[in-house]
Structure 1
Amino acid sequence: MPLRPPASLAYDDFDPQDEGRREALLTLGNGVLTVRGAAPWSTADAVHYPGTYRAGLYNRLADVIEGRRVENESLVNLPNWLPLTFRVEGEAAWFSLEAVEILEYRHALDATRGVSTRELLFRDGAGRRSWLRERRLVSMAQPGLAALRLEIVPQGWSGILEVRSGIDGGVTNARVPRFKPFDKQHLEAVRGEAVSPGLLLLRCRTRGARTGIGTATRTALEAGVLLAREDRAEAASIAEHLRCGVAPGRPLVLEKTAAIATTGDAGVREAGEAALALLRDAPSFAALEAAHAAAWSPWLARMRIEAAVPEQGCAARLMGFRILQTASPHSACLDVGFPARGWQEAYRGHIFWDETFVLPFLMFRAPGIARALLLYRCRRLEDARAAASAAGQRGAMFPWRCASDGQEQTPRLQWNPLSGRWMEDHTRLQRHVGAAIALNVWRYCEATGDEDFLARHGAALMLEIARFWAGAARHDPATDRYDILGVAGPDEYHTAWPGAAEPGLRNNAYTNVMAAWTLRRAREALERLPAARRQALCQAMGLEGRELAHWEHVSRRLRLVFRDDGTLLPFEGFDRLRPLDLQAMAEAHPGQRLDWVLECQGGSTNSYQVMKQADTLMLPFLLSWQELAGTLEGMGYAMTAEQWRRTAAHDLARTTHDSSLSNLAFAGALARLDPAASLRFFKAAMKPEHDPSSASSVAEGPHLGAYGGAFLVLQHHYLGLHLERDGLMLDPAPPPGLTPVRFGLDCRFGRFALAWTGSALRLCADPANRAPVRVSHSGGVQALAPGASLLVAPGGAAGPWREASPGLPGGQAAAGAG
């Protein structure tokens, strides 16, 4: 009988058209190594794509595209350690799923132990039936190790099996079809050797960075009869062949353990010898799995989210598991950021702003990991200063996409697979990434009370970003307003005004509000520092009171643009663009990206009132309503609830949701504006990559920011937990139909459990907390003692807006562009 172990995610059939997506979703990692869920007998083809990656191991290659020299830095696909296959002696073809009749099948992920399993009963072309079982892990106990266990059980037949186990160094970066025109060969100087029976080693290095890579494998026959063993070397690979006798019902068990080391690892001078040293100390698969599960256990306990609906609880735990596979205690020791699609080939493994969505999850459960992700930004402050200077600005201008260093990695050209043409890419103009970094620093320090981080790193980061915004704002004497020009917002479908000589937009609402927020918070961060540190930092930056006063003025006079009915526009001029029937476009071009479709027709999304994802509505998604209202009022704008509803309706009608982050942003933004719609978006977002219609995108790597964003919606918007300077605030707004949910969290005030019972919010303080904490809620303010709990009913607060006002909603300050 087949085994049916507990599964967080499982597939009970083999679907070649969906296999690429499943390989991405069943990927295993420990924050350092990541291994796609490809079968060990598979090779890179139209169905399968084996891939092994090391966090932060990038390589830069150059190409000539459209007469321009372009450089791309990519996360490198390392030598493939997985190859392990078999055939009956005398047959020419090695085993493959496509060549046999599959009678039973299951490919599953057990997130409670961090292992994947694959099991199938098959019948080959000669009519022989066999069970095949694989178990795999990427060790959380020893981050340089990965291993698999393969079991073959003949059913009613006997004979001799030939087994091949090897390391393939002939791999390329070929997972993303859009990158086909670019050079994909990152490895060179590939040399394989058989060190001893069962022990193989393959050395190579990256072509550009010349990083040395050592991959060593040990293949052991744990059960079965070994008849012979020999090594076979090829140009870019090394393998060994085993002849094994098999009998009916008698398992043939093979264990393959891999050790991977690079010259980028601490203390490694020669990667091959380092890999061999790791492998020689590696125990059996059973011992590896026991240590691996033990290492995972406390982290999974911290991430645990309990839900009354089992499917939702499982989805939530899976989200936390995937985040930890990318950012773990091991990656915290490296100089790496948080890649948008995990350590896979999507987006070349680049770092965008996705830590903004993940940090609220991590900082309340794993503050050390959150701190490490912020340090990645801090180490690139000098590069950001240099970028600002090169652009004629002061302060720090962080890149939209970065990788090994702080240089901008956003490509100038993007390939349109529908038209076969190159498209200009101006998304690097998303300068708002700097405001997101400042927000992350502030949120982390608020949550953890890490004043040392603020003093050593965070304040300087925030101040330099604020300095950039103050310099980027252009004063209009006629209105005493400041304009920010030449930028792009989170909606990547607009990066230039139609027909303009230069790319960029004028007064993107999200950018301007977040710039104002940064200018205000940076001054607060400075005031929080000890006097000596504050004085030293101001002296080092040449920061004087006169400049700080200018920041204050800019923060209060940045311009926003409204329609006559009070709707906040995404950017100045948006209402003058042409309307577009999104439903008709979707019906005519199902499953296709709108920007690609319009380019095929000789047009551009820049010309239309259409958005890829939430833009203005990112504001109430990332900021609490109290914080957002305070920022807007500081700018001289007071928006009513009705204005926000109009703005949300305006944007929703024009959004294609071509990003998996869009559902989360609207779920959070609409929590108080339209609770029913909010919950629909939230439920869709809880399964962001499980829809087969998104297979081609997810196959390149799942969007991890969406996982963290789901938690942000749940904790901050629905359950309404916010940190204040002197305590906690509970302002729950659960949408009707939100089922009970419970999770724990740590912050500077202690450890707590937060639960939605279905009718009320319960906050419990851990008995070990040092002191009572001040908790404000709709019923007033009270001190929550260690071991005590309180119950808060929803509906007490409706948001810091006015539901109605005389004349134009929001007053005249909200009209036009004034």
Structure 2
Amino acid sequence: MGWKIIETNQLTPKDIDRQGNKLLTGNGYIGYRGTLEEFNKEQKTATIVSGLYDQVGNQWREPVNLPNGCFVQVLYKGEVLHALTSKVLEHTQSLDMQNAIHERETVFETTDGIRIAVHARRFASLARRHLICMEYSVSADRECEVDIETGIDGDVWDLNGPHLRNICAMEKDGLTSICAVTHENGIRVAVSEAITFTNARQFSGEERSADDFKILRKLNQVNIQNGFTFYKFISHCVGLESNNPLEDSRGMCQQAAELGFDGLFAEHAKFWSERWADCDIQIEGDFSAQQALRFSMYHLLSIVPMHTSAASIPARGMSGQMYKGAVFWDTEIFMLPFFTHVFPSMARNLLLYRYHTLDGARRKAKEYGYRGAFYAWESQDTGEDACTLFNVTDVFTNRPMRTYFRDKQVHISADIAYAFWKYYTSTGDVSIWRDGGAEVIFECARFFLSYTYFNPDKHRYEILDVTGPDEYHERVHNNAFTNRLVAHTFEVCLLVAACLQESFTEKYSELMNVLGFEPDLALISEMAQKLYRPDSDSPAAVIPQFDGYLRLENISIKTLLERKLHPHEYLGGGNGLAATTQIIKQADVILALYLFGEKYSSETKSINWEYYESRTEHGSSLSACSYSLVAAQIGKADWAYKYFMKTATIDLDGEGKEYVGTLYIGGTHPAGNGGAWMSAVFGLCGIHVSDEGISVNPRLPAHWTQVKLSMLFRGQRLRFTLNHTSVAIEMVNRAETSLPVSINRQNYVLPQTGALMISIN
């Protein structure tokens, strides 16, 4: 139940864009948009490989869209059967999330009344990351012959391309290939294809054609009355990991063809079955929530790079080149919790990406006159900041607008430090500090040491001239979120130093000497005590988002939106409509209340939730889950559920924001996917993990009759069963020691074997 996403007879241009995102298949190395086989760049087909970027001239640097090996079109009497231009009687497109396979079934009617059905299935192999495998069938309701063209289409959709040069199409030993080279770094890429037929005698002949961008096989006069099926095995190799991408891709195709579609699908499905066994969450009483939550986890698992720690998850996943394929703070704050608590080895990889890009963060800090690590707001493969100073175009003047994302959203370095610490406290993996984590933490703390100002009149350190999570208000002073995260970074720095010194003495000494960090460590200890925290001034009161926030114009969102003169005008920036008001883009103070929930009273959370909820425009997919999480903590289960569904269905419904000014930012929203998991597990199920252990305070929606889930805590897998009258927790494997747990604020001990079941009100 809830495993299959199905769309029927939805073929408008907006549907095509939504399906491309929603029905994506991927394996962490390669992502393929959920488009139809006859589609081309006009319908935004995309084959994105993790970690491969290119820049053409002065255009934005972005991921490379590889040649499309899934291209197939059927021709009847010379006319292409195309879902958007031909007569379609029936059309279904689906995604089986349990087995990660895309499927389409379309019935066309020709001008002379023949019904031709196309049925295709494809998957990005989880067992063999370079492969996409496809089964394609055509049949007719009477005697009928068609021509079929299939091959590799190198004329791809680019936002700031084209990214491939020296394109060469070739055929050898029955395998077709396109190879090319990227512009910026001369990285070689190759896409190859092998085809097998169930009955090659069903067509009269086969031709080859190739031009600069495309290589096709044409199957002539195919008799399809009784059905005709063939299989495509497409491999994608790049020079980042291969000395000879062309030969490697050809070899993989040959091997795949020998193994066959069914064998490859069986091993792929087995890998997915093992993943779902570890992470599936079963919700009884709510089909929509069940499907949306599985959808969220499916998309996270489809794009996480298991094969390397030198790549991470971009803000738009692998759905295209939007946002330059860049990695934002989204990954650490909104996606990482899922991986940390369910697949910690994947979380470790994502964190070590920040170690691999540490030198880029150092260079950025130096660029702005600071020390330490100022991480890229938009990070790519090297850690250089892909974010420009002009990110939005003014819809009225068509001129670029100066934005302060790259240089003023300093909280990015603190977000990374926060994520490392949460991973450590949840997993107990002390080796993360030895393997690069400590160096990241030290350099982030050092950056804030050089960024922070001392106010002699108030005898405190302050953080001035920043942009917080709410991007509608730029260059503000003492943003409550930023100050709280920086204070935490200083605290974590001291804890990590002590941990490293105790567990890896030689590594500690090495870092102190290489970084010259001991004098900074002493200063950090002092600064941690004196850093101004605006939220500490406001117990049980509204926490001002930044200095002067509460003096801004206090209007409703409705009033603000009525002032718009253009549907796509940007609300932030120096002249944005929201900049002089209290209307904010996304959760800011509320996110801080969640991340550091133990530091705030329920009364403080409730007052601030009520205040900021009505003033938040939710112009970011990062926002809704924060309101869901805090709503659950303050007993607003209905609101928690509402915001959970908002974040969990953003790509199911295709309701995400597609434009900022004139900039297209469509695509998937993996931060929303991660936020959905957080909202369900930490919010509605009320599970909280801390240094002391685990607490459970369920806030289940009234119509959820039961929830079952499992997660890891310090290497031990725990299975939870929650309903409105009881909580049960069981250690899946025998533990060496018992585990303290709190259920509805009552303390218990989880036995080493068996389950603990507690009745609740």
Q: TM-score range by the shorter chain?
A: over 0.9
Q: Which amino acid in the other structure matches residue 22 of structure 2? A: L
Match of 1:83 in 2: 71
Report the alpha carbon displacement of residue 641 of structure 1 after superposing the two structures with TM.
4.0
Match of 1:671 in 2: 632
Correspondent of 1:742 among 696, 704, 708: 708
Match of 2:197 in 1: 221
Report the alpha carbon displacement of residue 660 of structure 1 after superposing the two structures with TM.
1.7
**Alignment partners' CA distance in 2, 1:49 and 1:384:** 33
Correspondent of 2:219 among 230, 239, 242: 242
Matched, 1:660 2:621: yes
- Secondary structure in 1 aligned to 2:204? strand
**Alignment partners' CA distance in 2, 1:320 and 1:470:** 38
Report the alpha carbon displacement of residue 120 of structure 1 after superposing the two structures with TM.
1.9
Contact kept? 2:541, 2:604, Cα under 8 Å: yes
Contact kept? 1:515, 1:555, Cα under 8 Å: no
**Alignment partners' CA distance in 2, 1:779 and 1:621:** 18
- Secondary structure in 2 aligned to 1:245? strand
**Alignment partners' CA distance in 1, 2:624 and 2:394:** 26
**Alignment partners' CA distance in 1, 2:416 and 2:572:** 33
Contact kept? 2:585, 2:618, Cα under 8 Å: yes
- Secondary structure in 2 aligned to 1:56? strand
Q: Which amino acid in the other structure matches residue 679 of structure 1? A: Y
Contact kept? 1:204, 1:214, Cα under 8 Å: yes
Spell out the pairing of 1:131-170 with structure 2 (5 A cutoff).
Answer: 131-158=117-144, 160-170=145-155
Name the stretch that deviates more: 436-445 or 768-777: 768-777
Q: Which amino acid in the other structure matches residue 295 of structure 1? A: F
Report the alpha carbon displacement of residue 409 of structure 1 after superposing the two structures with TM.
1.1
Contact kept? 1:21, 1:699, Cα under 8 Å: no
Rate the CA distance shift 1:786–1:590 in 2: closer, same or farther, 3 A: farther
Q: Could you give the per-residue CA deviations for residues 439-498 of structure 1, whole angstroms, max 9, x where no partner exists?
A: 111111111111111233222221221222222221111111221112110011112xxx
Match of 1:123 in 2: 109
**Alignment partners' CA distance in 2, 1:668 and 1:412:** 33
Contact kept? 1:720, 1:733, Cα under 8 Å: yes
Q: Could you give the per-residue CA deviations for residues 357-408 of structure 1, whole angstroms, max 9, x where no partner exists?
A: 1111111221111110011001122222232233222222111111011111
Rate the CA distance shift 1:381–1:770 in 2: closer, same or farther, 3 A: same
**Alignment partners' CA distance in 1, 2:387 and 2:707:** 40
**Alignment partners' CA distance in 2, 1:166 and 1:483:** 60
Provide the TM-score with structure 2 as the length reference: 0.92
Contact kept? 2:102, 2:122, Cα under 8 Å: yes
Q: Could you give the per-residue CA deviations for residues 69-91 of structure 1, whole angstroms, max 9, x where no partner exists?
A: xx522011111112111112xx3
Contact kept? 1:593, 1:658, Cα under 8 Å: no
- Secondary structure in 2 aligned to 1:122? strand
**Alignment partners' CA distance in 1, 2:641 and 2:272:** 32
Provide the TM-score with structure 1 as the length reference: 0.86
Report the alpha carbon displacement of residue 786 of structure 1 after superposing the two structures with TM.
2.3
Spell out the pairing of 1:75-474 with structure 2 (5 A cutoff).
Answer: 75-88=63-76, 91-158=77-144, 160-174=145-159, 183-197=160-174, 199-223=175-199, 225-248=202-225, 250-265=226-241, 268-282=242-256, 283-308=259-284, 309-330=286-307, 333-343=308-318, 344-355=320-331, 356-416=333-393, 418-419=395-396, 420-428=398-406, 429-474=408-453
Matched, 1:53 2:48: yes
**Alignment partners' CA distance in 2, 1:195 and 1:187:** 22
Correspondent of 1:24 among 21, 26, 31: 21
- Secondary structure in 2 aligned to 1:459? helix
Spell out the pairing of 1:758-769 with structure 2 (5 A cutoff).
Answer: 758-769=724-735
Q: Could you give the per-residue CA deviations for residues 6-35 of structure 1, whole angstroms, max 9, x where no partner exists?
A: 952110113223111111111100100111
Q: Could you give the per-residue CA deviations for residues 483-526 of structure 1, whole angstroms, max 9, x where no partner exists?
A: 1112110011112xxxxxxxx22111100011111111221122
- Secondary structure in 1 aligned to 2:651? coil
Correspondent of 1:544 among 514, 518, 537: 518
**Alignment partners' CA distance in 1, 2:521 and 2:270:** 53
Matched, 1:74 2:59: no
Name the stretch that deviates more: 357-366 or 417-426: 417-426
Correspondent of 1:485 among 456, 461, 464: 464
Q: Which amino acid in the other structure matches residue 323 of structure 1? A: L
Contact kept? 1:23, 1:699, Cα under 8 Å: no
**Alignment partners' CA distance in 2, 1:432 and 1:388:** 13
Match of 2:549 in 1: 574
Contact kept? 2:46, 2:157, Cα under 8 Å: no
Contact kept? 1:378, 1:457, Cα under 8 Å: yes
**Alignment partners' CA distance in 2, 1:512 and 1:614:** 15
Matched, 1:13 2:9: yes
Rate the CA distance shift 1:488–1:234 in 2: closer, same or farther, 3 A: same
Contact kept? 2:21, 2:651, Cα under 8 Å: no
Q: Which amino acid in the other structure matches residue 16 of structure 2? A: E
Q: Which amino acid in the other structure matches residue 29 of structure 2? A: V
Match of 2:681 in 1: 715
Q: Provide the aligned length of Structure 1 versus Structure 2.
A: 743
Report the alpha carbon displacement of residue 784 of structure 1 after superposing the two structures with TM.
1.4
Matched, 1:705 2:671: yes
**Alignment partners' CA distance in 2, 1:583 and 1:147:** 49
Contact kept? 2:6, 2:93, Cα under 8 Å: yes
Rate the CA distance shift 1:28–1:426 in 2: closer, same or farther, 3 A: same
Q: Could you give the per-residue CA deviations for residues 610-663 of structure 1, whole angstroms, max 9, x where no partner exists?
A: 21111111112223x21x34xxxxxxxxxx544433322222222111112211
- Secondary structure in 2 aligned to 1:294? helix
Q: Which amino acid in the other structure matches residue 273 of structure 1? A: E
**Alignment partners' CA distance in 2, 1:260 and 1:747:** 37
Report the alpha carbon displacement of residue 108 of structure 1 after superposing the two structures with TM.
0.3
**Alignment partners' CA distance in 1, 2:131 and 2:439:** 38
Gaps of 5+ in 2: none
Name the stretch that deviates more: 143-152 or 412-421: 412-421
- Secondary structure in 1 aligned to 2:694? strand
Name the stretch that deviates more: 415-424 or 469-478: 415-424
Report the alpha carbon displacement of residue 437 of structure 1 after superposing the two structures with TM.
0.7
Rate the CA distance shift 1:227–1:448 in 2: closer, same or farther, 3 A: same
Rate the CA distance shift 1:771–1:539 in 2: closer, same or farther, 3 A: same
RMSD between aligned residues: 2.6
Q: Which amino acid in the other structure matches residue 68 of structure 2? A: N
Report the alpha carbon displacement of residue 695 of structure 1 after superposing the two structures with TM.
7.7
Rate the CA distance shift 1:793–1:431 in 2: closer, same or farther, 3 A: farther
**Alignment partners' CA distance in 2, 1:781 and 1:642:** 23
Rate the CA distance shift 1:603–1:247 in 2: closer, same or farther, 3 A: closer
